[in-house]
Amino acid sequence: MNISLAEQAKKMTIGSEKFTVPMPPTFSNPLEQRAYEKQRLAAGFRVFALHGFDEGLAGHITQRDCIEPETFWVNPIGVHFAHIKASDLVRVDHDGKIVEGNSPINNAAFAIHSRIHIARPEIKAVAHAHTRFGRAFSALGQLLAPISQDACVFYQNHSLFDVFTGVVAELSEGDMIAESLGDNIAVILQNHGLLTVGKSVDAAVANFVMMDSCCQSQLLAQSAGEMKLIEHDIALKTKQANGSELVTWGNFQPQYQVVLAQDSSFLD
């Protein structure tokens, strides 16, 4: 049985009957929602920069437009994540036509993200980058194991795309990645990197940060000795608790506070 976000928050906190629990906002004005979501997307890039997910031209986060859902917002090519503002973002449709913005975009971003946005209409955001630990773990050709509470978020909730043909440039490969992702929240792109999704850009980015950290943890654990895995039923129970959209959305909020305190220019 589905329960409301407020009921979920009440179950997970103490004092919610007296104090306000942070919750995803709702909007009656779609233009206000668009402006808000563009700011959150710009903040997502600042969070990526905060974690060092910003090497070269690779990496992209997309946000489905709330007014014209057959289009999505993405970062301009060649702008460092630490400097991206809401006004820098580019909106593109599923045919590859730029409908708003003043910059070119990465072809791989379109080839991968457009296919996922088409295949998963309930998904609002997609995050992808070539991180140090994501690259290393992807070379193993295996899934994350349930070795911690955090790793359980991805238990039976991510997949492995074991095809690498070079830089993704064809829509057909984007379709293959979308198919491999399935109904999960993440996919490991073998010899490539990580990709996560969410029903908000907050959740997609938080999922990515968590997944990269889990890759690092497993690399450390595997190098140290035999790993002790969390039992199947407990892993599923933990995923249900920590992998909910409310929790993954919530995981982004402290990181948002950090980048906002550092430099609020991304709101422009």
pLDDT tens, position by position, 87-112: 999 999 999 999 999 999 999 899 99
pLDDT at 21: 75
Long-range Cβ contact pairs of 261-267 (< 8 A, separation 24 or more): 262/46, 262/50, 263/46, 265/85, 266/39, 266/42, 266/43, 266/45, 266/46, 266/84, 266/85, 266/86, 267/39, 267/42, 267/85, 267/86
Domain membership of residue 5 (yes or no) is: no
**How is 180-235 classified by DSSP, letter by letter?**
HHTTSSEEEETTTEEEEEESSHHHHHHHHHHHHHHHHHHHHHHHHSPPPPPPHHHH
Number of helices (H) and strands (E), helices first, in the chain? Answer: 8, 8
Q: Answer yes or no: is 12 within a domain.
A: no
- Which residue segment(s) compose the domain that 155 sits in? 26-263
Q: What pLDDT score does 164 carry?
A: 84
Phi, psi of 205 (to 5 degrees): -70, -45
In a domain, 17, yes or no: no
Query: pTM of the prediction?
Result: 0.94
Per-residue confidence (pLDDT) for residue 47, from 0 to 100: 98
pLDDT band at 7 (very low <50, low <70, confident <90, very high): low
Residue 13 lies in a domain: no
Indicate if the pLDDT at residue 117 is higher than 70: yes
Beta strands in 103-203 (DSSP E): 125-129, 158-161, 186-189, 193-198
Number of compact structural domains in the chain: 1
Per residue in 235-264, pLDDT (tens digit) is 999 999 999 888 999 999 999 999 999 999
Give residue 19's pLDDT band: very low, low, confident or very high (50, 70, 90).
Answer: confident
What is the Cα–Cα distance from 34 to 65, expressed in whole angstroms? 7
User: Would residue 20 count as lying in a domain?
Assistant: no
Residue tagged 């402290």 (tokens): 254
Residue 190, domain CATH: 3.40.225.10
| Residue 268 domain-assigned (yes or no) | no
Q: Is residue 201 domain-resident? A: yes
95-102 long-range contacts, CB within 8 A, separation 24+: 99/68, 99/71, 101/76, 102/76
Burial of 50 per CB tally in 10 Å (0-12, 13-18, 19+) = middle
pLDDT at res. 165:
80
Residue 4 pLDDT: 66
Q: How large is the average pLDDT for residues 179-198?
A: 97
What pLDDT, on a 0 to 100 scale, did the predictor assign at position 260?
97
Torsions phi, psi for 123 (to 5 deg): -85, 130
pLDDT band at 57 (very low <50, low <70, confident <90, very high): confident
Average pLDDT over residues 138-162: 97
CA atoms of 32 and 50, how far apart (whole Å): 27
- 19 falls within a domain: no
**pLDDT attached to residue 10:** 60
Query: How far apart, in whole angstroms, are the C-alpha atoms of residue 256 and residue 42?
Result: 10
- Asked if pLDDT for residue 1 goes beyond 50, the answer is no
**Does the pLDDT at position 227 exceed 70?**
yes
